[in-house]
Structures are given as C-alpha cells and as structure tokens.
A and B are shown apart, each in its own frame.
Chain A
Amino acid sequence: MTSTTQPLDSAQSRSTMAPLRNLMRDYPVIPLLVLLIALVAALQILQPGIVIGDDGINHRWISNTIKFAVPLAILAGAQTMTMITGGIDLSVGVVATMTAFVMSTQVASGLDPALAIPVALACAALAGLASGIGVAIFRVHPLIMTLAIALVVEGLLLVYQRGMLGVSAQIPEIIAWLGTKKSFGVIPNSLLVFIPVALFIGFTLRRTGFGRNLYAIGDNEHAARLAGVRVWQVLIVLYVISALLAGIGGLVYVGLIKATTLSLAVPLMLPSVAAAVIGGVSIFGGRGGYLGVIVGALILRVVTSMLTVLRIDEGARRVIFGLIILGVVALYVRITQERQG
C-alpha cells in the first residue's frame, strides 16, 4: 500500500488543499449546506416547478422531503454514534423493521400502543445488547458482529411471524399521525420525535462524559483504556443506544409507509451509512458530529428525488449510492491524510 508517489502527492496536497482540509475538518456543515443548495437548484432545473412553483415555494415538496429524511436521519444518528468509536451498525435496518413489526402486531393482537411501543423498543435494546457484548467483550469487528446479529434477528422475526399468522398488523393512530400528518399545514409531525432525538444525540456527543469517551475510543482505543475509560462498558451502552435509535426510526418509518412488511426499513441501511459518511463522520472513528449528518440525510433525499426524476431504477441507484460512499471516504482519506488499516 505504500506507493512510491505518496510523499510527493502529500506534499502537493498540503500546500493547495490546506484551507479546504481545515474547512472540512472543522466546519463540515458549511460545504454540505452549499452542496445541498446546489443539488436543490439542480433538481429545480431538471424538473421546473418541483421546488419553486408558480405560486412561490412548494411547501408540499419540502415537507415531504423532510418527512422522508427524518427516519433516515434517526438511523444515521445510530450510525454516527457507532462510527465515532470506529465501529458501524449494520443491523439498524433489520432492528428498525423488527421494532415496527413487533409493535404493529402486538397492537393488532390487542395490546395498548402505550405498552406495545416500549415492548418493541425493549426487543430492539436486546438486539443491541447482543451486538454490544460481541463487540465489547469478544472483540469481534463491529461490522461482522452487527451483520451476524442482523441475520439472527431476521430469523427470529420469521419465527415470530409464523406465530402471528392469524394477526394482521395494525398501525396505531399516534404512530400514523407522527409519521404522515402535518401541523399548521407545513410542519411534519415527525419533527416532534426528531427534534428531541437530535437534541439527545447532540447533547450526548458534545456535553457528556459518555460522548467524550466515544470520541476517545474512536481516536485511540488503547490510549482511552490507559486513561481509565472502561471501554467495554461504553461500547455495550453505545450499541444498546444505537439499536434503540434504530427502533425509534423504524416506528416513525412505519407510520410514514403505513404497511408492515419484513423488509420495511432494510432499504434504509445503506443510505444511513451514506448519510453519516457524507455528513463528515469519519468511518475510522474519532471525528464527526450529528449536525452534518442531518444535512447529509437531506442531501440523500434530494439525490433520491433527482434519481427518480431522471427515472433511474433501483439497481443503478444502489450502484450510485455505493460509489458515493466509496468516493466520499476516499476523498476524506486523501484530504485529511488519515490512514489506518
């Protein structure tokens, strides 16, 4: 991997890319917002009237974009927190689906929504606990561990579904209201869930000792351990939180989609990683914040709208998203000269 051109390469980039590097490192939100506005402008050009119509700004389009961005941003929040420690959570899609499925079938079989929601979230927390134990105590790579847990949860969900064959899923009023409806004609109700969640993530990362420990572990786990951080405890709590966030995202998403299937939130898995990566969270750990990720989720929604306008099908969409992840990570490695592995 040590190519011969590298010293020359980095010397060049140090002189020309330094301002850009500092900007992306310290305030990733600014270039991201510029990118978001540019994409929205491009979308308006591709399909005139979609953003700004004859009678001013198209509120419907904006609130729809936000409505679809909210569950994605919540799942990306789980991704943000795990990625800051140098991990990743590939079980978010399955855990979100499981939470929504358990909740809606329990409601359909007569459980009060006020009880069904905590029960479903408890299931999510259990999945997170399992991942956390594997990552924290057995030191399995988080990617492999969460993938394996996703496999097990998927199997358990199938078993559970067999036991629930007679029950048709039912989405409680409150969930549908949160997921789909708008207040005052423009403000999506899902923001009622999203704003507390975002504040929680932001506060945890910036203002708590737990958050600082996450950055410390991602920066240098060995140093963090020497400094007295109980890494295994932090990681277990982290993966439980991550699964809970995934569960909340799943509940909002099922309110939006209003149909419970066994692959409900699975398509959100890849975009959740992409949103975090675009939002400036280093996939190697130690760097990133949630604000950028929120913009990243919005960017992905706008890109999705563009791909829809351009009539690009699902396969090509996945290829493009995969290439975006690879390209952005490669760019970050180049710009910040951050090397690991």
Chain B
Amino acid sequence: MTAVTSALGSADGGSSNAAAKRFIRRNGWVLTLWALLGAMFVFTKIIQPDYGMAAATILVLAALPYAFATAGQSMAIIAGGIDLSMAAMMTLLSVSAAALMEGQGEEFGIVAVALVLLLGLGVGAVNGLSVVITRVPDIVVTLAFFFIWEGAALMILDSPGGAASTWLKDLIIGSVGADFIPTEISKFLPKALILLVVALGVVWIPLRRSKLGLSMYAIGSDKLAAHRSGVAVSRTKVASYAFAGLFAAMGGLVLTMNTGIGTPVQGPYLMASVAAAVLGGVALTGGRGGLVGPIVAVFILRLARQDLTLMSVDPNVAQVVEGLIMVAVVLVGATVALRGRRS
C-alpha cells in the first residue's frame, strides 16, 4: 500500500516553490490520516485483544462500497462539481448487474461486468452532459438525477432480486489463494483489498498522470483560468462525471457481489462519500486532493463504526454517532474551505 501511496503522491510534483510547498502540505495530511488509521487499529486491538485478520477482512469487505462511492465522489468534487446521485447510481448499477446475471451462465458474468462498467460511464456522462447543457449548478442537476436514477432502479427491479455469478461473489471473499504465496503472507491479503487497490489504481494512476487528469484539477480550482489557458472545460466536466459513474459502477457491482442480489433501495453512501472525501483532503471548493486520502478516510470511518460495534453500542445509536461524525467532518471541512477562500 505504501508503494502505491508514494507513486500516487509523487505524480503531483511541481517545479515552482509554491507547488513544492503544496506538495508537502497535501502529503502531510495523507500521512496524518495513515497515522490516525494506525492509532485506531491499536485502539481497536486494546478494546478487543483478539481482533485479528478475520475482523480486518470483514472491515475491508464493509468498506468496499464506501470506498468506490468516495472515489467517484472525489472525481466530481476535484473537478469543481459534486455528485448527489452517487448512491442512486450505485443502486441502479447494482440492480442492473443483478438483473443481467439472473438465469445466465457463469461465463456471462464477465459480459455483465463489462456492460455494467460501460453503463456506469454512460450514466455518469449523462449527469455531466446535463450539467454542461442546462448550465444549472451541479448540485441541482445531480439532485434531480438522485431521483431519476433511483426511479430507474425501481423500474428494473421493483423488489430485491436478481442473481450474481458464483466466481464474482468469490472475488471478494477470503484471502488470496495462490500456490506461490505462503499462507503466512496470503492471509494478510484479503481479496477485497486487492480488488480495491487494483480497481482504483487501474483507473486513477493513468488518469492522474494524463492531460485529462490535470485538466480536471484545473477546472476544479479555477474554471475561467482553465478555459483561458485552453482547457476544454465542458469536455473535462463530462469526463469527470463519467469517471464518477465508472466508480459508481464498481461500487454497484461490489454491492451485488456482496449480497448476491440487487436491492432497489439507496444505501447510506451519499453522505458517507462526501464526508470521506472531505476528511480525505478533497476540498469542497474543487481542485484539491487525491484518491489515497479519501480511501484512508473511508477506512477510518468504517473502523470507527466497527469499534462502536465491538464496544457493543446499540446499532441504532451507532448510526446516530456515525451521522454526527460525518456532520462534524463536513462542518470542519466547510470551515477550512471558507478560511482558504478568505486568505
């Protein structure tokens, strides 16, 4: 994981002094988050001495849909938007995957995955195109799509149903089983974690290094300046939403893999994705942050929830506490953003 971090982090080196300073500050926050996560694991080990790999694997499994939702949300926010339809898209895509795979052979699963990923790109692009064409603020457009995608999910499946290929479900259960890796090591490699790192890395690392990635940061930090320096603002905006949709598709697939069916009801992923992105250092004003911070933030928030369960807090009370943590994160994030704007 640390190798991945440094690779991702070093992508944004700058020649000027200001860029170097920003580089240190940005990575400083991500390092703080890693330290916080480590401290929380120590705390968890103290309150629950037999906390081990089994519980950690459950944590990763629980964090998967949140992680993809947060990755998608970060795409939209970095490019200066926000995607309130994130959880609705995940629901729609999860339901589509489950409906596609119902009554089909094992091999069809791969086709279904490809179709759902494409559909995700398309659904996200529709969000982005609507923002660009209607010239209505992102937050309003994606609020409308919150309901539209939710309704579309209900049209595909009006009650929980569908199916998922067995191999697909196995993809996230347990730890990596390969002959050349000794069990002592492989038991520390939950398949879900590998899937997460690979899926995010395959999309994010090339994107971050590409012109498109740079354009996303550019339109997020100053749309007018980006336009004047020759960035195709509209096209970049649509692309950022399409990537948000792609991550939503991954999140939706994970939901279907996890439960084996599709459920046409939105999970709590919208608020969680905004909170984790903000905690992970993605500024709500756009143009700042990466993907490593938000993903670490997801694990911090999920581990906090797991700790509440371990301390045998009533699940409903735990939901309230979790909600309050998210509110606090967004409050502090907004205050920091406000300071940044003023200075």
Binding site for B on A (CB under 8 A): 1-3, 134, 138-141, 143-145, 147-149, 151-152, 154-156, 158-159, 162, 270, 273, 283-284, 313-323, 325-326, 329-330, 333, 339-341
Are A284 and B319 interface neighbours, CB within 8 A? no
From A139, A147, A322, A325, give the contact of B151 (CB < 8 A).
A322
* Interfacial chain B residues near A339, Cβ < 8 Å: 135
Whether a CB of chain A sits under 8 angstroms from the CB of B203 is: no
| Contact segment of B24-32, B47-55, B141-149 | B141-149
Are B327 and A149 interface neighbours, CB within 8 A? yes
* Interfacial chain B residues near A315, Cβ < 8 Å: 151-156, 158, 264
* Interfacial chain A residues near B284, Cβ < 8 Å: 141
Minimum CB–CB distance for A307 against chain B, Å: 12
14 examples of A-B residue contacts, CB within 8 angstroms: A1-B233, A1-B234, A144-B274, A145-B330, A147-B271, A148-B326, A148-B330, A151-B271, A314-B158, A317-B151, A318-B154, A321-B151, A329-B134, A333-B135
Minimum CB–CB distance for B129 against chain A, Å: 12
Known: A1-B135, A2-B227, A141-B284. A162 touches B316 (CB 8 A): yes
Interface residues of B in 62-107 (CB under 8 A from A): 84
* A1–B137 CA distance with the chains assembled, in angstroms: 11
From A134, A144, A159, A322, give the contact of B145 (CB < 8 A).
A322
Known: A148-B271, A155-B323, A315-B154. A1 touches B223 (CB 8 A): yes
Are A322 and B148 interface neighbours, CB within 8 A? yes
Main secondary structure of the interface of B (DSSP, over half): helix
Chain B interface residue bracket vs A? 35 or more
* A148–B148 CA distance with the chains assembled, in angstroms: 21
Are B144 and A325 interface neighbours, CB within 8 A? yes
Minimum CB–CB distance for B218 against chain A, Å: 14
Q: Pick from A162, A270, A319, A321 the residue with the most CB of B within 10 Å.
A: A319
From A145, A319, A340, give the contact of B137 (CB < 8 A).
A340
Known: A1-B135, A1-B223, A156-B320. A323 touches B144 (CB 8 A): yes
Are B134 and A333 interface neighbours, CB within 8 A? yes
Whether a CB of chain A sits under 8 angstroms from the CB of B130 is: yes
Minimum CB–CB distance for A281 against chain B, Å: 12
Minimum CB–CB distance for B317 against chain A, Å: 6
* A212–B99 CA distance with the chains assembled, in angstroms: 53
From A149, A156, A314, give the contact of B154 (CB < 8 A).
A314
Are B314 and A341 interface neighbours, CB within 8 A? no
* A151–B324 CA distance with the chains assembled, in angstroms: 9
* A314–B150 CA distance with the chains assembled, in angstroms: 10
Bitwise interface map of B from 191 to 231 toward A, beta carbon under 8 Å scored 1, else 0 = 00000000000000000000000000000000100010000
* A320–B144 CA distance with the chains assembled, in angstroms: 10
Whether a CB of chain A sits under 8 angstroms from the CB of B114 is: no
Main secondary structure of the interface of A (DSSP, over half): helix
Whether a CB of chain A sits under 8 angstroms from the CB of B270 is: yes
Minimum CB–CB distance for A89 against chain B, Å: 12
Binding site for A on B (CB under 8 A): 84, 130, 132-141, 143-148, 150-156, 158, 223, 227, 233-234, 237, 264, 268, 270-271, 274, 284, 314, 316-317, 319-320, 322-324, 326-327, 330-332, 334-335, 338
* A-B interface pairs (CB < 8 A), number: 137
Minimum CB–CB distance for A334 against chain B, Å: 8
* A8–B326 CA distance with the chains assembled, in angstroms: 46
Known: A148-B271, A322-B148, A330-B136. A139 touches B338 (CB 8 A): yes
* Interfacial chain A residues near B327, Cβ < 8 Å: 134, 145, 148-149, 152
* Apart from the given pairs A143-B84, A159-B314, A323-B148, 16 other A-B contacts in the complex at a CB distance below 8 Å: A2-B227, A134-B327, A148-B326, A148-B327, A151-B271, A151-B323, A152-B324, A154-B323, A155-B319, A315-B152, A315-B154, A315-B158, A315-B264, A316-B155, A322-B148, A329-B136
A-B pairs, top 4 by smallest CB distance, nearest first, are A315-B154, A318-B151, A341-B137, A322-B147
* Interfacial chain A residues near B332, Cβ < 8 Å: 138
Are A140 and B330 interface neighbours, CB within 8 A? yes
* Interfacial chain A residues near B326, Cβ < 8 Å: 148, 151
* A321–B335 CA distance with the chains assembled, in angstroms: 34
* Interfacial chain A residues near B148, Cβ < 8 Å: 318-319, 322-323, 326
Minimum CB–CB distance for A72 against chain B, Å: 16
Minimum CB–CB distance for A321 against chain B, Å: 6
Are A138 and B223 interface neighbours, CB within 8 A? no
Are B320 and A155 interface neighbours, CB within 8 A? yes
Are A2 and B144 interface neighbours, CB within 8 A? no
Minimum CB–CB distance for B141 against chain A, Å: 6
* A155–B326 CA distance with the chains assembled, in angstroms: 13
Minimum CB–CB distance for A93 against chain B, Å: 12
Residue of A nearest to B327 (CB): A148
Known: A2-B227, A134-B331, A162-B314. A319 touches B323 (CB 8 A): no
From B132, B153, B324, give the contact of A1 (CB < 8 A).
B132
* A2–B232 CA distance with the chains assembled, in angstroms: 10
Are B223 and A313 interface neighbours, CB within 8 A? no
Are B335 and A141 interface neighbours, CB within 8 A? no
Minimum CB–CB distance for A161 against chain B, Å: 8
Residue of B nearest to A325 (CB): B144
Are A138 and B335 interface neighbours, CB within 8 A? yes
Residue of B nearest to A3 (CB): B234
